[in-house]
Amino acid sequence: MSNKCRVCDAETKFVISYGKMPLANAFLEPSQYDKEYFFELAVSHCPSCKMLQLIDQPKPELMFHEEYAFFSGTSKAMAVHFEDKANSHIQEFIKSPSDAFVIELGSNDGIMLKHFAKNKIKHLGIEPSRNVAEVARQNGVDTIVEFFGKETAQKVLNTHGKADIISASNVMCHIPDLRSVGQGVDLLLKDDGVFEFEDPYLGAMIEKTSYDQIYDEHVYIFSVTSVDNAFAPYGLEVFHVTPLETHGGSMRYHLCRKGAHPIRQSVIDQKAKEKSLGLDTYETYEKFAQSCEKNKKELVELLQNLKSEGKRVVGYAATSKSTTILNYCGIGSDLIECIYDTTPIKQNKFTPGMHIPVKSFDDFYNNAPDYAVLFAWNHAKEIFAKEESYTQSGKNWITFCPDVKVA
Ligand code: TYD
Ligand code: ZN
């Protein structure tokens, strides 16, 4: 394990280890248990560029491949979110739709770019997972199957020219080599172009102790301060930010070439908030590590008590995030009998590491448990509305973020 910052090479400071961890999306069958991959999930903070980062990380090829299990289109709220994002880009940053060019990195199943396709705006999705890219193509979204970096940027520059917008959602924090991204964006972005991305926000994670945002795919948890520092060497700066509700608290960063757009008040205000939250000081992360330990203890105690009372407890949604919770807390099928999930390729498999069975929702409705642990807590509003009859029949929800509680 190296303690060198992935972004600026300074010595980082160790924050917490969540122990031996599998890949968050490596749902598997019992025949695969003996070759299951594990790594140590641990986090450090860079005192110089302020980036919170994974110390060790599996190779991206292990995580984003032919069988990538995450399809953006599975949540209705997310579909609306990405339609709004496409429309706001078209209104604010596209001057002339007929000669505009929009790139999305990690375009998944085309959930956002399809709105550009619909408006006949030239676009290109760059997506490393073939199965989701195939769905995007079926949706009429031009997509190439590649990882993004300097080399892909050069290829796209040669074939398509420079971009007005380079966008990415829940992707930038997946890319270990931000330097190559910075170089790629520098190559591809028009002089007044906008490089925009959104990811789970460090401020929200610290405020909510939502440590389940930390897993193999999230190599960074960004703040405005750390993003500004990371891309400054490539002549880029953050000129506007928008806090978002998605993924339990995200931030949308708009960057441009230095001086190309005036720095908006949103950036000044958010940086001030980050200072007052202490995101630049190590003590904040020491406290965060203690809160994680406390949360773990309370969740395990609650589940053990319910078990001793003979209650039936299941999980709701086999999210990537749940892999960190289950493995760090050591929760297996003795405490949570199964997890229900809408994703067909997760169903009838077992969760990474703890091997809890994943089932389709039919069973949840036919044979309702006493308690359901809400692993998709970030979609609580949508789920509580959808599952009103479960709640009204006197059944219970368990949430663990920000605090462990029965709702
Ligand atoms: P999300 O919080 O977006 O996931 P992640 O932590 O993986 O980023 O939730 C997506 C997962 O949750 C996916 O496996 C489908 C499942 N899910 C349900 O099963 N039912 C639901 O109502 C929702 C919103 C998600
Ligand atoms: Zn650094």
Q: Is the pLDDT of residue 116 over 80?
A: yes
Give the residue from 211, 242, 277 where a domain finishes: 277
Is the shortest distance between the CB of 360 and ligand 1 below 6 Å? Answer: no
What's the predicted TM-score (pTM) here?
A: 0.94
Q: Cα 261–267–270 angle (5° rounding)?
A: 170
Structure tokens at 387: 């599952």
Give the number of the atom of ligand 1 that is nearest the alpha carbon of residue 170: 8
Is the shortest distance between the CB of 342 and ligand 1 below 6 Å? Answer: yes
Q: What is the CATH number of the domain that holds 83?
A: 3.40.50.150
Candidate from 53-62, 92-101, 330-339 with smallest mean pLDDT:
53-62
Is the shortest distance between the CB of 375 and ligand 1 below 6 Å? Answer: no
pLDDT band of residue 407 (cuts 50, 70, 90) is confident
**Ligand 1, residues 27, 213, 341: which to mutate, most atoms within 8 A of Cβ?**
341
Q: In the chain, what's the furthest Cα-to-Cα distance?
A: 66
Domain shared by 150 and 248, yes or no: yes
List the one residue out of 62, 22, 45, 106 whose CA is nearest residue 280.
Answer: 45
Query: Domain tally for the chain?
Result: 2
Cα separation, 332 vs 304, whole angstroms: 11
CB 148, CB 126: distance < 8 Å: yes
Phi, psi angle pair for 104, to nearest 5°: -120, 130
Orientation angle between helical segments 282-308 and 320-329, nearest 10 degrees: 80
Is the shortest distance between the CB of 72 and ligand 1 below 6 Å? Answer: no
Domain shared by 138 and 197, yes or no: yes
Q: Is the pLDDT of residue 66 over 70?
A: no
**Ligand 1, residues 111, 218, 320: which to mutate, most atoms within 8 A of Cβ?**
320
Q: What is the mean pLDDT of residues 353-361?
A: 97
Q: Is the pLDDT of residue 73 over 70?
A: no
Q: State the DSSP string of 23-74.
A: -TT--B-GGGGGG--EEEEEEEE-TTT--EEESS---HHHHSSTT----GGG
Domain shared by 168 and 314, yes or no: no
**Core vs surface per residue 202-239: b (16+ CB within 10 A) or e:** bbbbbebbbbbbbbbbbbbbbbbbbbbbbbbebebbbb
- Is 11 among the domain residues? no
Domain shared by 271 and 288, yes or no: no
Q: Cα 126–216–23 angle (5° rounding)?
A: 100
Give the number of the atom of ligand 1 that is nearest the alpha carbon of residue 24: 7
Dist. CA 126 → ligand 1 center (Å):
23
Cα separation, 108 vs 106, whole angstroms: 5
Atom 13, ligand 1: which residue's CA is nearest?
319
Domain shared by 205 and 309, yes or no: no
Is the shortest distance between the CB of 382 and ligand 1 below 6 Å? Answer: yes
Give the number of the atom of ligand 1 that is nearest the alpha carbon of residue 76: 24
User: Tokens 């193509």 correspond to what residue?
Assistant: 137
pLDDT of residue 46: 98
Domain shared by 220 and 367, yes or no: no
pLDDT of residue 65: 65
Is the shortest distance between the CB of 171 and ligand 1 below 6 Å? Answer: no
Give the number of the atom of ligand 1 that is nearest the alpha carbon of residue 78: 3
Beta sheet of 250-257, edge-to-edge order: 143-144, 122-126, 101-105, 163-169, 189-200, 250-257, 236-244
Q: How far is CA 361 from CA 315, 322, 337, 392, in A?
A: 11, 17, 14, 18
Domain shared by 307 and 197, yes or no: no
- Is 60 among the domain residues? no
- The burial class, CB within 10 Å (0-12 / 13-18 / 19+), for 36 is middle
Averaged pLDDT score across all residues of the chain: 95
**Ligand 1, residues 27, 67, 75: which to mutate, most atoms within 8 A of Cβ?**
75
Domain shared by 266 and 314, yes or no: no
DSSP 171: -
User: Tokens 């809890």 correspond to what residue?
Assistant: 356
pLDDT of residue 61: 73
Dist. CA 12 → ligand 2 center (Å):
7
DSSP 232: G
Q: Cα 92–84–243 angle (5° rounding)?
A: 80
Domain shared by 141 and 97, yes or no: yes
- The answer for residues whose C-beta is within 8 angstroms of residue 308's C-beta and 6 or more apart is none
What are 321-331's pLDDT values in tens digits? Answer: 999 999 999 99
Q: What is the mean pLDDT of residues 356-370?
A: 94
Q: What is the mean pLDDT of residues 240-246?
A: 96
Residue 244 CA to its chain's centroid (Å): 13
pLDDT band of residue 371 (cuts 50, 70, 90) is very high
Q: Is the pLDDT of residue 2 over 70?
A: no
- Is 273 among the domain residues? yes
Q: Is the pLDDT of residue 72 over 80?
A: no
Is the shortest distance between the CB of 358 and ligand 1 below 6 Å? Answer: no
Cα separation, 340 vs 190, whole angstroms: 45
Give the residue from 256, 277, 298 where a domain finishes: 277
Nearest bound ligand to the CA of residue 220? 2
Q: Is the pLDDT of residue 69 over 80?
A: no
Give the residue from 277, 295, 325 where a domain finishes: 277
Domain shared by 158 and 301, yes or no: no
Give the number of the atom of ligand 1 that is nearest the alpha carbon of residue 340: 19
Q: What is the mean pLDDT of residues 4-17?
A: 98
Domain shared by 299 and 391, yes or no: yes
pLDDT of residue 40: 96
pLDDT of residue 285: 98
**Ligand 1, residues 25, 80, 342, 361: which to mutate, most atoms within 8 A of Cβ?**
342
CB 52, CB 220: distance < 8 Å: yes
What are 123-181's pLDDT values in tens digits? Answer: 999 999 999 999 999 999 999 999 999 999 999 999 999 999 999 999 999 999 999 99
What are 253-308's pLDDT values in tens digits? Answer: 999 999 999 999 999 999 999 999 999 999 999 999 999 999 999 999 999 999 99
pLDDT band of residue 74 (cuts 50, 70, 90) is low
Dist. CA 247 → ligand 2 center (Å):
25
Containing domain of residue 317, as a range?
284-406
**Ligand 1, residues 63, 64, 70: which to mutate, most atoms within 8 A of Cβ?**
70
Atom 22, ligand 1: which residue's CA is nearest?
383
User: Tokens 């928008």 correspond to what residue?
Assistant: 242
Cα separation, 13 vs 215, whole angstroms: 18
- Is 27 among the domain residues? no
Q: What is the CATH number of the domain that holds 377?
A: 3.40.50.720
pLDDT band of residue 83 (cuts 50, 70, 90) is very high
Three-state DSSP state, 17: strand
Beta sheet of 52-54, edge-to-edge order: 13-22, 38-45, 52-54, 220-221
Domain shared by 264 and 361, yes or no: no
